[in-house]
């Protein structure tokens, strides 16, 4: 049961950020995070998935995707909740770039609804978001992955530690780089505030592309003392 202070805080937050449906952007229906018809536009990743990176596999004959057969990841397993459809793309775009911080609550709820079972299976002691470089966060005003991690922490009851991992320098957007440039771009870019008190960590990012960012973060967390790093992403891209 939430205490009175928590309820008052939620009511105040609802006045500042009235609940909106993250898919259509209109006011959310009463006592729900989004419209049922809007939720249906978000397509969960389903069927056969790569056992490591969670990407949907074209056929079920292999358990790993081509990429994961070629290289080892630093995380044990990552799953993404939704496919990167047009509805998901627009939703994430507004959440990231259009100051729609209020999307964090419905999106965190959806992550838990669709991936809660898997997250419980990982038994993470903490959720850590992929950090943003401090200067970039100041410019944008927030780190969307951090908001999402805090939201997931609220619905799941798993603590969140956004300060445990830092991005030590600015990096170039991964989508602009070739595979070779990606590794150099991220080399030494993350540092864990170790020694970390957790053994099992759930790392959170908004979109899974090549896994390079999660790998760099997971390596830093393991350097800081974490033993097992799992990943959760809101969406997975295809063809990366």
Nearer to Zn ion, 194 or 237 (CB): 237
Query: Contacts with Zn ion in 41-60 (CB under 5 A)?
Result: 50, 52-53
Stretch that binds Zn ion, among 67-75, 79-87, 139-147, 150-158 (CB under 5 A): 67-75
**Does 128 engage in binding with Zn ion (CB under 5 A)?**
no
Among 21, 88, 104, 127, binds Zn ion (CB under 5 A): 21
The minimum distance between CB 78 and Zn ion, in angstroms, equals 9
Stretch that binds Zn ion, among 27-35, 104-112, 144-152, 177-185 (CB under 5 A): 27-35
**Does 152 engage in binding with Zn ion (CB under 5 A)?**
no
Across 74-86, b (16+ Cβ under 10 Å) vs e yields bbebbbbbbbbee
What are 32's two structure tokens?
């729900």
Please report which residue ranges of 159-211 form alpha helices under DSSP H: 179-186
| CA within 13 Å, CB half, 85 | 13
**Does 35 engage in binding with Zn ion (CB under 5 A)?**
yes
Nearer to Zn ion, 162 or 211 (CB): 211
**What is the C-alpha separation between 167 and 211, in angstroms, rounded?**
16
Stretch that binds Zn ion, among 17-25, 100-108, 130-138, 226-234 (CB under 5 A): 17-25
Give φ, ψ of 234 to 5 degrees. Answer: -70, -40
Biggest CA–CA distance in the chain, Å, is 54
Residues in contact with Zn ion, counted by CB under 5 A, come to a total of 10
Nearer to Zn ion, 24 or 155 (CB): 24
**CA geometry: angle 232, 176, 189, nearest 5 deg:** 60
CB 196 within 8 A of CB 228: no
Applying CB under 5 A, which residues contact Zn ion? 21, 23-24, 35, 38, 50, 52-53, 65, 68
């Amino acid at each position: 049961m939430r205490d009175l202070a928590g309820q008052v805080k939620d009511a105040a937050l609802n006045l500042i950020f009235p609940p909106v449906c993250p898919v259509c952007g209109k006011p959310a229906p009463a006592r729900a995070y989004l419209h049922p018809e809007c939720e249906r536009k978000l397509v969960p990743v389903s069927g056969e998935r790569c056992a490591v990176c969670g990407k949907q596999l074209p056929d079920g004959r292999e358990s790993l995707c081509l990429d994961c057969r070629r290289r080892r990841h630093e995380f044990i397993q990552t799953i993404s909740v939704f496919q990167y459809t047009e509805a998901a793309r627009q939703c994430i775009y507004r959440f990231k770039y259009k100051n729609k911080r209020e999307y964090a609550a419905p999106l965190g709820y959806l992550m838990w609804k669709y991936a809660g079972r898997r997250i419980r299976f990982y038994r993470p002691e903490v959720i850590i978001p992929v950090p943003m470089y401090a200067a970039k966060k100041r410019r944008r005003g927030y780190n969307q992955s951090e908001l999402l991690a805090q939201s997931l922490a609220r619905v799941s009851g798993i603590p969140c530690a956004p300060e445990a991992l830092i991005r030590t320098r600015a990096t170039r957007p991964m989508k602009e780089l070739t595979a070779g440039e990606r590794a150099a771009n991220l080399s030494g870019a993350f540092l864990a505030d170790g020694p970390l008190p957790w053994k099992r960590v759930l790392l959170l990012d908004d979109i899974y592309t090549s896994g390079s960012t999660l790998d760099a973060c997971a390596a830093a967390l393991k350097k800081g003392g974490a033993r097992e790093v799992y990943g959760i992403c809101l969406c997975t891209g295809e063809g990366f």
